[in-house]
Amino acid sequence: MAYRVDISPSALQDAEDAYFWILSQTSTAIAGQWYEGLLEAVFSLENFPLRCPLAPESDDLGKEVRQLLYGKRGNQYRILFGIWWDDNTAENVARIYRIRHSARRRITAEEIREGAP
């Protein structure tokens, strides 16, 4: 079953911030490849988003938040998202709340609300 991937403005800003940080540390080519790969990972959620485990903070948030890891070693990012059925469009939706470096602290309920529709 296909899911519509919906990216919040907060998650788009997170991705842009990460891109510019990587660009400042490397080259345009490497940052561009990273960004293209990130988008590919995000849109892979169109198929089988339930393959991704719950995020560690899901219980603390009182909400099912899943995570997809993207990247390797010291440059790994967590794509944090929720899944639901949208009655208005009659579609399954995978909503990307935030995109965070794995070394950052756990996400808070307020940060999830910023990424919620």
> Could you report the per-residue pLDDT of 72-108, keeping only the tens digit for each?
888 899 999 999 888 888 899 999 999 999 888 777 7
* CATH label of the domain that carries residue 81: 3.30.2310.20
When pLDDT is cut at 50, 70 and 90, the band that residue 62 belongs to is confident
**Packing angle, helices 28-43 and 9-25, rounded to 10:** 150
More confident residue, 60 or 20: 20
Is 90 exceeded by the pLDDT of residue 110? Answer: no
Angstrom CA distances, 111 to 2, 11, 96, 106, 108, stand at: 27, 10, 12, 10, 5
Domain count, the chain: 1
Amino acid code (one letter) for 21: W
| Segments forming the whole domain that contains residue 90 | 3-115
Contact yes or no for 92/78 (Cβ under 8 A): no
Q: What is the pLDDT of residue 107?
A: 78
pTM, entire model: 0.90
Q: What is the pLDDT of residue 96?
A: 95
Average pLDDT value for residue range 17-29: 94
Contacts of residue 19, defined as CB under 8 A and 6 or more positions apart, other chains included, come to 31, 34, 35
Q: What is the mean pLDDT of the chain?
A: 90
% of residues, the chain, pLDDT over 90? 68
